[in-house]
Structure 1
């Protein structure tokens, strides 16, 4: 195993700062787009579900195309870095458009607007996301150093993704107390402010990755296809470790519900205030009290999630020196599944016990976020070792698609639950913020299941593909040694 370090500390810091910015932009979309569509724009749950479904079908085409472009194109400003110069500005603009829909006259026009902005945002984000998480493969040939960069980058990325949640919690009570806003108007003002902050600051941080990093591993592009050379997609789909990693990511998709579902559970399941006093409140006082409950519940859930997820991310870095990615994922997923199942049986009436469970339930959110991307780098090493071809862009595109697909599955689960419990969002949001105490047991249990029962099942079954993942121990060490020899034989030099 190679021990030489290639990436200076200032470059690590630059990459992590950029990862934080990217997390801010992606965090507002992944955590709040379903809430914005359903509770602010009052779009039909069926429409939102279909929008997510067809957008993911397009991603299945679009993401590999972007990966193919990264692998085969050679822009003057850097094979990978070039895209990190040109994509932040359009991402910022589209993020603002996504959460600031104009006052259109008909639901049909609003649906068209939502479709165009959502799909355009996804395509533009892909053009940034695939190169960004491919970049560590170009920063260093050292698998251990690459894994550490990805581990720290994913951790700081998670911190960035938590910033929109913090803003959401702070702005609700502040706007309700200081402005004559209720219902949809208050929620729209909140999302306008959050999207402005995340779009501007997030993309300014993201672009640092272009100016402050250096591509050192410059492998030749894949050879032109001939009769004896399998095409790029065949190489990717025949890479067993990569496919097992992707399958694990898809099966564990419900882990995204802890973030995406928190605001919905806070709106419709949990209440931690004075149950008798709130019955006497009306108008602005009632709105302020409900916004306070929404913010407090969201804050407690977010803090518990952050402690579990970020704690796991931080611990993953030293753990990967002693244990394999496979072992870390299996053990942490078992912990998360057991805790989520326990929370379901505890029930939504015992809020503080549920908060404690959330801490343990979100541990695999941290470990999988780190390990899956690091494992992708190992899988690309495996592909290069076995075939002589390294498809960094396409491999990262697969992981990018898995992440977006996982978030879409989580969002779809929320929307389906709205439909199952027959929640009349329009009649609620037209008056004041939803009161959990006014909801039926079906609604409260249904919403509660999206952060308890559903993740418990998902985290249990994601272990199955990991049982067949064998790129560990002696096999991995042998691969790294022989791969270095293969590169030396080809005359591939790594820049200092």
Structure 2
């Protein structure tokens, strides 16, 4: 036993650090459950607010921005809470049990349309949206923070993260593909009735998935888990440049992705006059699985930072191809597929690389603040990015004269096109810039792992 431990300390990449297949699947279920609900919010909440709930596009966009930015503040708080958690279930795992039902309940309430008017109606929307977001952070943060404690091997973490991302993509596929048809079916054409019922169906499934993950997952590295004070959590950020780079890149990515997903329904309804194709086009996004599943192989050839750059490039190219599609549905679908593969890659990489930044922070400062660092790197970026990504297109559309449920002018159609096609393309291109500075940190990861193993 002592000889095996000594070998592992000398080489933390040994195969005995691999996670069993059933636990890889269980880890994937966490993101499937999370995306079943969160992707309904990110894809359809703006449309729900303007065309179902009855808010103007300007009010809806401002509400999304303010609520998301206020809500994003809870990400580091949740991170510090997790860093101070030490229970018989582990550090991150118990939150799958504790937060699954509150997350489900408040997500359902977000899509309820009460008989309210004026500021009271806006207040209800903001309150339910923020509470759903707080609960989402409480369950999304441990999904990422648990990864460094599932395996010590960077290679195994990439594999685990690929399982997670494939699972998340399945959740996204189900949410964006079946929400509108299910809402229409359960509401008999009444979206105010159908939306909360459809969300409730997904919520039940999500809770079951979180509970299965709670039962099956196990955390290691428990000997390195110590309660971390607020001061020490902040200390783990100092000089952690790989973490800072990932924060910037991941935030940029979620801005671009949210712009794309939140405006597709407007583009197909008004510019193409084919709203009925939205579930089909969104369903094609399952193609992201190819990019996600290929990541462990791409990383071996290209390394991690260049793999993420590849994702940004493909995502931007897909947007540009859709612009040249004009009335050709086949070209538009081709661009959508390329963009989805790219966004699948760019979405996946930061979650795997954040684990390495946790190791870097521990190596540099002696503080292992996995909850704090991954909370800001994941939940904060998703929420702040979603807020900005939901706000920017509403301002463009409002500037060009968009009015819900009416025949759009040529100016408002141009605003919708700019929002759906060009805004995401520009943002994805900007995401490449910070990743150009990551290379030197990735080259040192193996030495950091060996050094940390010697400190135990």
Match of 1:38? Answer: 50
Q: 2:219 aligns with which of 215, 219, 223?
A: 215
1:245, 1:376 within 8 Å by CA — same for their partners in 2?
A: yes
Residue in 1 aligned with 2:265? Answer: 263
Provide the residue aligned with 2:26 in structure 1: 14
**Cα distance change of structure 1 residues 303 and 471 upon mapping to structure 2, 3 Å threshold:** farther
Equivalent residue in structure 2 for 1:401, among 363, 380, 403 = 380
Q: Does 1:254 align with 2:291?
A: no
After superposition, what is the alpha-carbon deviation per residue over 1:306-327, rounded to whole angstroms, capped at 9, x for unaligned?
Answer: 32x2221121132223321111
Of residues 448, 456, 461 in structure 1, which corresponds to 2:430?
A: 461
Distance 1:26 1:256, change over 3 A: same
Q: Does 1:364 align with 2:342?
A: yes
Q: Give the match for residue 41 of structure 2.
A: 29
Alignment map for 1:417-436 (pairs within 5 Å): 417-425=396-404, 428=405
Gaps of 5+ in 1: 272-292, 429-433, 488-496
Residue 112 (structure 2) aligns with: 100
**Contact residue 150 and residue 220 of structure 2 kept, 8 A:** yes
Give the aligned partner of residue 97 of structure 2.
Answer: 85
The aligned runs of 1:317-356 (5 Å cut-off) are 317-344=296-323, 346=324, 348-356=326-334
Instruction: Name 1:493's counterpart in structure 2.
Output: none
Cα deviation 1:319-351 (Å, max 9, x = unaligned): 22332111111123223223322433x264333
How far is 1:238 from its partner? 3.0
Q: TM-score, normalised by structure 2?
A: 0.90
1:6 CA displacement = 4.1
Q: After TM superposition, give the deviation of residue 94 of structure 1 in Å.
A: 0.7
8 Å contact from structure 1 (residues 333, 364) kept in 2: yes
1:151 to 2:189 alignment: no
> Which structure has the larger Rg over C-alpha atoms?
1
What's 2:8 paired with? none
CA distance in structure 2 between the partners assigned to 1:172 and 1:315 by the alignment: 34
**1:65 offset after TM fit, Å?**
0.9
Shift of 1:259: 2.3
Matches within 5 A, 1:223-242: 231-242=232-243
TM-score by length of 1: 0.83
* Correspondent of 2:60 among 48, 51, 54: 48
By how many angstroms is 1:380 displaced? 0.7
Give the number of the structure whose residues are more often helix, by fraction: 2
The equivalent residue for 1:378 is 356
In structure 2, list runs of 5 or more residues that go unmatched.
1-11
Q: Residues of 2 paired with 1:76 and 1:97: CA distance?
A: 32
Distance 1:445 1:351, change over 3 A: farther
The equivalent position to 2:444 in structure 1, one of 461, 467, 475, is 475
Q: 1:299 to 1:93 in 2, by over 3 A?
A: closer
CA distance in 1, matches of 2:243, 2:119: 41
